[in-house]
Amino acid sequence: MKQPFYITTPIYYPSAKLHIGHAYCTTLADTIARFKRLAGYDVFFLTGSDEHGQKIQRIAESQGVTPLEYVDGIVAMFKELWKRLEISNDDFLRTSEERHHLTCQEFFRRIRDKGDIYKGEYVGLYCTPCESYWTEHQLDENGNCPDCHRPVEKVSEEAYFFKMSKYADRVLEYIKSNPEFIQPTSRRNEMIAFIEQGLEDLCISRTTFNWGIPVPDDPKHVIYVWFDALINYITALGFLNHDEKFEKFWPADIHLVGKEIVRFHSIIWPCILLAMDLPLPKQIYGHGWLVIEGDKMSKSKGNVVDPMLLIDEFGADAIRYFLLREINLGQDGNFSRDALISRINSDLANDLGNLLHRTLNMINKFQKGIVEEFSGVNRDVDQSLESDKLETIRKYRAEMESMKLSDAMKTIWSFVSRSNKYIDETAPWKLAKNPDQKSELAATLYNLVESLRVISIMISPAMPLTSRKIWKQLGLDSTKNFDEVQLDDIENLRIEFGHRIEKPEQLFPRIEVEKS
């Protein structure tokens, strides 16, 4: 029986157009999910949209449409982007769906019946853009929201409260005794400090707007979006219907989120789960932000990068590779068009593209497209390449398992470079001129197609389209359907003598940059 693995992205807030940050987080999650499937896990991968709240209602009203009409348009764009970016999610959950309303209301009902929700009056400060409540001492030096640094509003209204303070000590102890629960370590330390300054009970309803899930038995209240949104991770597993998915996949293996919402996932969410007597997720991982040309993305600055336009111009796999290769998971990373083009030209066109093209061209030219048999060849250069290949596979497995995705890309490309160097070291074009060296030529070309076979499998979680193209050009579709390839096939599956390869096709055209 396959080991289950459950990974989620945050459910994205559809209050603005898509940007490269959305693509970054979802590409990370998709790559991890694809690797786990490749490694033989039974994977459930969830993404979705967080659609309720005052901010959405205000934007919709300003545009003369209903909140649902407004979010429908943006959610359609999300789904189109995920399709074009080759995202392999198993479910897309919208918090406006009835299945989520029913689950969220059941959570509220059970926690209230337990005595952990009470009615009171909220008097305080609220940031509408962040959908966050703050106390005076939490504001920044200008008296604004400490997260987005925009003005807060004074709010006074009847509200329901969740006894989050009751669970503070248990959550703090859990975080301290489970070092892997919050990653990276810098995020973990921030959360410990946040709890230690004192957790107040959480206001979990509003009455000043109606775009949200009604509170059970008190419909003038709607449930606060962060109580509502977090429950999506349980809704998707069919919690209410006692679906076998819930038994199989909960607790989640990893909630992958932006660093700005780690607090909600690692403090509020565990408190809710403890109140429900449910297990906590195994890990919250807070990834960094993308900065554009060294500056944080901002609509007001006009530097938001549209991922759809990038895919139109460069293709999904090039974007995916750049994001994974260029940014260490957990740290902020810089996105620039120049860096993207440079990476495409050097890594994808020159290194990988040339390795495939040169290898297949030589087999077609020197061996009529057939991987020929050889024997009695025992050169140091072959043993060196084989040793490098095995070490690459070992490092790749370890780095992907520990989610060091950038390191894994570097490891693969180091072997791509090594394989290109092997061509120069063996000089097949010289071997082809000497009939006495036919076996050495066959050995050289065999080792190169084997390198490419291994590379195609290793890059498949990151570059699903390119890996298939390489597999097809190697003629391996007739050997094994690429959808059925597993990680163990890297070592267990070998190209047989007499195998026919196809004609090479360009993977990544080199991008010419106009010189100013």
What gap in Å lies between CA 120 and CA 136, rounded to an integer?
19
pLDDT at 19: 82
* pTM recorded for the entire structure: 0.93
- Beta-strand runs (E) in 50-174: 91-94, 117-127, 132-134, 153-162
Q: In which order are the strands placed within the sheet that holds 284-287?
A: 91-94, 42-49, 4-12, 254-258, 284-287, 182-183
Query: DSSP readout, 361-384?
Result: HHHHHHHTTB-----S---HHHHH
Residue with tokens 């050097």: 346
pLDDT at 303: 60
Dihedral angle sign, alpha carbons of residues 366, 371, 376, 380: positive
pLDDT at 302: 57
Residue 123 pairs with which residues in a beta bridge? 156
Q: In which order are the strands placed within the sheet that holds 214-215?
A: 205-206, 218-223, 214-215
pLDDT at 301: 56
What digits encode the pLDDT tens for the residues 352-397? 999 999 999 999 999 999 999 998 888 999 999 999 999 999 999 9
Q: Between helices 20-38 and 307-314, what is the axis angle to 10°? A: 60
pLDDT at 299: 54
Query: DSSP readout, 229-263?
Result: HHTHHHHTTTTTTT-HHHHHHPSPSEEEEEGGGHH
Residue among 90, 126, 262, 89 at smallest CA distance from 202? 126
Q: Between helices 354-367 and 405-426, what is the axis angle to 10°? A: 30
pLDDT at 123: 83
Q: Which residues of the chain fall below pLDDT 50?
A: none
Q: Are 4 and 33 in contact (CB under 8 A)?
A: no
Residue 7 pairs with which residues in a beta bridge? 45, 254
Please give the single-letter amino acid code of residue 226.
W
- Helix (H) or strand (E) run with residue 45 in it: strand 42-49
What architecture is domain 344-492?
Orthogonal Bundle (1.10)
Query: DSSP readout, 272-299?
Result: HHHHTT-PPPS-EEEE--EEETTEE--T
Per domain, the residue ranges of the chain are 344-492
What gap in Å lies between CA 47 and CA 26, rounded to an integer?
8
pLDDT at 167: 97
Phi, psi of 224 (to 5 degrees): -55, 140
